[in-house]
Chain A
Amino acid sequence: MAAGGKAGPKSPSKPRAVPGPGPLAHGWLVLYNIVLTAGWIAVLYVYIVHVLNNPSPPEVYSGIYDSVEVVLKVFQSLALLEIVHAALGIVPSNVLLTAFQVFSRVFLLWGVAHPFKEAQTSLGMSLCIAAWTITEIIRYSFYTFALLKMKPYVLQWCRYTFFIVLYPIGVSGELLAIYSALTPAAEQKAFSLEMPNPLNFSFYYHYFLVGGMLTYIPVFPQLYFHMVRQRRKIIGGVTKVVKKE
């Protein structure tokens, strides 16, 4: 059904005008991104210290979560604020997309790692924490500089290049971690509701986790190739300019 008015042509859809941060919001965002950059560097530090102190498997990977747990939980959970930033319009990101990304991380941390020891000590956990850490350090430092009107090419290059390897590693880690949580979730009937009950509803958390794993199939390729296209647009373009010079 045509929704337009009776007048002539509709202008081509342009991105919604974003108010942009005022000086207070700008200051807050700078602070936020600096704090998170520092936080994830702290996670990296603890991670490396653990690996150096426990070089042999399985402790090299099974003890990672235990060491980084507190720092990781604090700084990954703080990312929830990014949904608020998007909702308030002080950053140009799409609210739903941001919410989706943050919730998937927060879910992995609090819904898969936190409740299940088997997930905490899995190889997958150490892999995805490593991928998250590197990615977030680059991302938050990039945003910090961008807010200060600086765009160091090094960071931009890292952001749009590291993902090529980090995304698959992170996703594999996440899937392995969820997989390790399946059996204990089923055995403990964690977060589950069985019939009969007054709500006349049932919910099986281990099936929910399996469903979660299946969603990676359509979602991961889309996200990955979006980044590939972004890379071509952003780095591909810059390289051409350099060549002309």
Chain B
Amino acid sequence: MLVVVYCVHCVIMCFFASLQIEILHAKSGKQITRLDHVDNYSTVLDLKKWIYKQFPRYYPARQSLRLEPRGRNLSDEETVRSLDLRVGDRKLYLRDLGPQIGWKTVFLCEYAGPIFAYLLFYLRPAFIYGVTKAKTQPVVHIAFACWTFHYVKRVLETQFVHRFSHGTMPIRNIFKNCTYYWGFAAFVAYYINHPLYTPPAYGDLQVYPALAGFVINELGNFSIHLAFMNMRPPGTKTRSIPYPTGNPFTSLFSLVSCPNYTYEVGSWVCFTIMTQCFPALLFTIAGFYQMTVWAIGKHRNYLKEFSNYPRSRKPIIPFLL
């Protein structure tokens, strides 16, 4: 009986054993600190919080812990036990990711800018265009509505729909991203709202079908975002193979991994045709390039993570790319 109690005690002690883990600097190899009284079920996030307590500069989002100096970043949810650290040689390497900023913050910033930038040019201020009596073409009003709708939709989705995989990104990204979005917004808006703007060559025959296309693609893009939201329980980072739902717009999932990007490119192609504006074409091409890079990355991740991922799917363009 005593033997049984003793064995149970040992097993319990194994689980709740007090471990020591050395934290070393990934770049120099020097010891930063040693964490005592760590137990097997502490998570990587717990370790980060303890490090943060000792070094207020290194908030957890800024820390990357790995098993080797250049090893893979350990995810916050992993437990000490799963790391399988060798007895007597328990060490982890810490890399400083630099000042971080929340993804949500960056998205809200980069999407709000284009709304105000485009509005500025739409109002045709004299300090940009000089005093002008030129009448605004109907397509210019429509373009303003489309552009504003697109970005208001993005802001609302960021606030209410998007379930982010990552909390933060390096702070320099906000300058890079905002320059891209705000810069292109000004570039496109300047020409469409110009007093000397030339409406499309085929007039209404070009504008209204393109507008219809734009609306369809926006609906499609929103449908995909909703589908993604419903695939991920709130507060989790679950990833699963996307499949078409009851919404017909989601049938594109059977052909591509990232139909949200497909629809987005579609929206901008339609916008370009509708406005017949070369800067809009450049913006469409730039966006297409970037989204293709992202789509290929996500497609590869899907293939790696799920052995039963449908092989016939393409990253962004059905059958082609």
Contact = CB atoms under 8 A, between A and B. Distances in A.
Nearest to B73: A2
Contacts, number: 54
A12 B69 CA distance: 10
Interface in A1-42: 1-2, 4-12
B198 A10 contact: no
A232 to B, nearest CB: 24
B277 interface: yes
B276 A198 contact: yes
Contacts of A6: 72
Nearest to A196: B196
Given A1-B166, A8-B67, A200 B198 contact: yes
B71 A200 contact: no
Nearest to A194: B196
Task: Count chain A CB atoms within 10 A of each CB in B70, B165, B197, B275 and give the residue with the most.
Answer: B70
Contact of B197 (A1, A10, A11, A200): A200
Contacts of B165: 1
Contact of B198 (A9, A12, A197): A197
B201 A200 contact: no
Tell me the interface secondary structure of chain A in the complex.
loop
Given A198-B201, A201-B279, A202-B191, A10 B72 contact: yes
Contacts of A197: 198
A199 interface: yes
A194 B277 CA distance: 14
B72 A200 contact: no
Given A197-B198, A198-B201, A201-B191, A10 B71 contact: yes
Interface string B295-306: 000000000000
Given A197-B198, A200-B276, 6 more contacts: A7-B72, A9-B70, A12-B70, A195-B194, A200-B194, A201-B279
A-B pairs, top 7 by smallest CB distance, nearest first, are A9-B68, A2-B73, A201-B278, A196-B196, A195-B196, A199-B278, A200-B277
Interface of A: 1-2, 4-12, 195-202
11 contacts: A1-B166, A7-B72, A8-B67, A8-B72, A9-B68, A195-B196, A196-B198, A198-B276, A200-B197, A200-B276, A200-B277
